[in-house]
Amino acid sequence: MDLLRFITCGSVDDGKSTLIGRLLYDSDSVSLDILAALESRGAAQGNVDLALLTDGLKAEREQGITIDVAYKYFTTPRRKFIITDAPGHVQYTRNMVTGASNADLAIVLVDARHGVIEQTRRHSIIAALLGIKHFVLAVNKMDLVGYDENVFNKIVADYQDITKLLKLTDVTPIPMSALQGDNIVRRSEHMTWYTGPNLLEHLEAVPGAEETKAEPRFQVQYVVRPQTAELPDYRGYAGQIQSGSYRRGDKVHVLPSGLESTIEAIEINQKEVEEAVAPQGVIIRLTDDVDISRGDTIVPAHYVPHLTRELEATLCWMAETPLRAGRRFLLQHHAALVKASLPSILYRLDVQSLTHLGAEEARLNDIVRVRLKTAVPLAADIYRQNRKSGSFILVDEQTGNTVAAGLIEAVDPDYFTVAEPGAVAFSI
Amino acid sequence: MPTLDYLDRLEAEAIHILREVAGQFERPALLFSGGKDSIVLTRLAEKAFRPGKFPFPLVHVDTGHNFPEVLAFRDALAAQLGEKLVVRKVEDTIKQKGLQDPTGKYPSRNPLQTYTLLDVIEEFEFDACIGGARRDEEKARAKERIFSVRDDFGQWDPKRQRPELWNIYNGKIQKGENVRVFPISNWTELDVWNYIRRENIALPEIYFAHERQCVVLPGGQLLGLTEHLHLDADDEIVSRQVRFRTVGDATCTAAVASDASTVEDIIADIIQAKVSERGATRLDDTISETGMEDRKRNGYF
């Protein structure tokens, strides 16, 4: 049994909460006491409101909308699922970026009555930007359009524009009614014209995270030094394999220092193993006594990443105070924390059309392309090639708050954006 | 190439989080109740840090209403691990601060734990406290971050949480603030039990079916008989085969009738029973529909 993380994107009115409620309810993942609490609240309306299953906080219950990212879990005999529920409200790009950062698949919800709307584009663009490979186009509320095949086909055809624009390679359209339970966990009797999988069948079959296919990356999180009578000289580099695999005997480079050594042992739970793969947590020991500390990268000699103090990145700005060029930050590249400055904002990305707009500043929820300089070289990858080593956050030095999500776009000045907005195609 | 199943992935995520705590903070602590979730955390800490020592002590806030079997287990496990155990008692906080010990029939000290917890954080200047809370326990928890920043009063503000992206955890805090860290946020009760089975983790006896004197509550729930309950003459006392699903304050942690005497039985029980853990056994969450959220805002774990 493996694990799949997916995000649901849609607005309050697309029936997103009902869809999640339906998945939990029909897969028997709702406990009886929670059902009882729901039924007591839904009693006035005469039925259970499935949306209440995902409606977590007091403030939200008062406003009647979801305002933050929430996580829900369910398990079938084939898979454990982690659902990230990100709100669909226009101003909450920040939450959607957060939710999408960890997802393997995105369910893009469309109301069958309204078809592909602005928000559908926006959600698809953000999901693709964050590197999600698998998409479900969930055409919901089919019951309200008489389960009409033509309505579904028109929406699927309309979505083609987005598929092409974003070069999506895996989009599975499914007609459904979350409220009635059509094609969620059970095949719909109302839409015999649809012969594809229902939603759960598809979620069970889609490939999960594929970190092992990327180049090997490992960052030291913590140095284990017991300094006991039995182990006076033991030095183990504890960390998580971010991508790819590592083998005992691999010749490695340590970055940023550039020192070379060989993997003497890979330990998992105090046992030596021949090979370990992402995302396993391991301790690596090297044959040489080199100076290595938290944040350093250990990579096999033939897979050394670019070492850079200058990079170009896409940011999602997440703070109330606007971003202006010239600011300084702490840049957290996983276990590496370095000082950074932001000399220029190159352009703002219109998440509706993918066009580049001139930008003096970035406001909350804006997505901008920027240039960054770091005080210490980073062992960085391009986000499209590696979602782990290609990602970072910016931290405000004063408040300690996370103010931006960063996706590395270029690490080599030869590939930096030179011209004005519009001249360079935005690619995902 | 090794293939990883979902428990391997959950385990890897938790180990990564524990190591981030070790790497980012100067004085972390692992809050340890002797309950199954915190026992699982100690196993994960072994996997994260052995052959080294844990980079944090185990800290127990003892309500004074604990099950004696659990306290004995706590002490034995700390000794076996060879790790430092710090115990601070709610009893002492009540005396020092002149607080009102809860009265009534089922006098839960859970609300008072907050004071003792904040005191112990201040005493040792802990900057991060690792806990075994899971997002599936309660709706308010479903939205809490893995690194959850608290102000100097321990308060949680759901609207001011830091966005948490990829597996990058931001532990930057200002003086007076501290972080609560939840490495098994993404585990469900069933995941925890499956992991206990796979890893062959020992637990206190009270998790398994045993004969116990219980008070029958008006709602039909069973409460283990202890000296801390203030019973009425007409309360019904019965002897039942029961087990506990959580091991909190004995005055508000109900037992469930069960014959499950092994981990296998319990897993079968959970799959069958389908009553959520807190729903089954925690009386203090039913006080108001938003019980947990209100207490978290006030600094509860």
Q: CATH 3.40.50.300 residue ranges in chain A?
A: 2-207
A239 touches chain B (CB under 8 A): yes
Q: Does any CB of chain B come closer than 8 Å to the CB of residue A217?
A: no
> Is-contact B2 B11, C-beta < 8 A?
no
Measured in angstroms, the CA of A281 and the nearest CA of chain B are apart by 5
Question: Do B133 and B214 belong to one domain?
Answer: no
Q: How many CB atoms lie within 10 A of CB B110?
A: 22
pTM (2 d.p.):
0.90
Model confidence band, residue A40 (pLDDT cutoffs 50, 70, 90)? low
The string over B235-260, giving b where at least 16 C-beta atoms fall within 10 Å of a residue's C-beta and e elsewhere, is eeeeebebbbbbbbbbbbbbbbebeb
Q: Do B182 and B256 sit in the same domain of this protein?
A: no
A336-349 and A297-300 beta bridge pairing = unpaired
Cβ contact B83:B57 at 8 Å: yes
Question: What percent of chain B has pLDDT above 90?
Answer: 46
* Distances A247 to A240, A258, A268, B108, B270 between C-alpha atoms, Å: 14, 20, 13, 53, 40
Note the ipTM here. Answer: 0.91
Q: Does A291 touch chain B (CB under 8 A)?
A: no
pLDDT in tens, A112-132: 999 999 889 989 999 999 999
Q: What is the mean pLDDT of residues A61-68?
A: 51
Best of A5, A240, A337 to substitute, by most chain B Cβ atoms within 10 angstroms, is: A240
CATH of the domain at B130: 3.40.50.620
The per-residue pLDDT for B238 is 86
Number of A:B CB contacts under 8 A?
177
Residues of A in contact with B42 (CB under 8 A): none
Kindly state whether residues B61 and B136 are assigned to the same domain: yes
Question: Are B233 and B262 within one domain?
Answer: yes
B159 & B220 share domain: no
Nearest chain B alpha carbon to A4: B6
Higher per-residue confidence, B92 vs A326 = A326
My answer on whether B102 and B242 are in the same domain is no
Nearest to A310 by CA among A395, A397, A417, A219: A417
Same domain, B144 and B268: no
Domain membership flag for residue B113: yes
> What is the average pLDDT value for chain B, to the nearest integer?
84
Q: CATH for A214-303?
A: 2.40.30.10
pLDDT of residue A107: 96
Contact B142 A70 (CB under 8 A): yes
Give yes or no: residues B183 and B220 share one domain. Answer: no
Q: Decide: helix, strand or coil at residue A361.
A: strand
Chain B, nearest residue to A94 by Cα: B163
Q: Which pLDDT does position B286 carry in this prediction?
A: 43
Task: Of A35-44, B60-69, B238-247, give the lowest mean pLDDT range.
Answer: A35-44
Q: Is residue B197 part of a domain?
A: no
Q: Considering the domain boundaries, does residue B231 fall inside one?
A: yes
Give the class (CATH, top level) of A2-207: alpha beta
Q: How many domains does chain B have?
A: 2
Examine the domain organization and report whether B183 and B254 are in the same domain. no
Q: A306-415: what fold?
A: Elongation Factor Tu (Ef-tu); domain 3 (2.40.30)
Sign of CA dihedral A58, A62, A67, A73: positive
B38, B167: one domain: yes
Regarding whether B160 and B58 lie in a shared domain, the answer is yes
Residue span(s) of chain A under CATH 2.40.30.10 come to 214-303, 306-415
Of A12-21, A418-427, B47-56, which range is least confident? A418-427
User: Is A293 touching B (CB cutoff 8 A)?
Assistant: no
Q: Is residue B132 part of a domain?
A: yes
Are B50 and B159 part of one and the same domain?
Answer: yes
List the single residue in A with minimal CA-CA distance to B43.
A269
Nearest to A33 among B48, B136, B276 (CB): B276
Q: Nearest residue on chain A to B279, judged by CA atoms? A: A33
Q: CB contact, 8 Å: B162 with chain A? A: yes
- Is residue B199 in a domain? no
The b-or-e profile of A266-287 (16+ CB within 10 A means b, else e) is bbbbeeebeebbbbbbbbbbbe
CA distance A116 to chain B (A): 28
Half-sphere exposure of B136 (CA within 13 A, CB side): 24
% of chain B residues with pLDDT over 70 = 85
Distance of residue A330 Cα from the nearest chain B Cα, in angstroms = 10
Domain extent, residue B271, equals 206-285
pLDDT value of position B229:
72
* Least Cα separation, residue B91 to chain A (angstroms): 32
The answer to whether B290 contacts A101, with C-beta atoms less than 8 Å apart, is: no
B136 touches chain A (CB under 8 A): yes
Whether A393 shows a pLDDT value over 60: the answer reads: yes
Interchain contact A208–B (C-beta under 8 A): no
Q: What is the pLDDT of residue B106?
A: 66
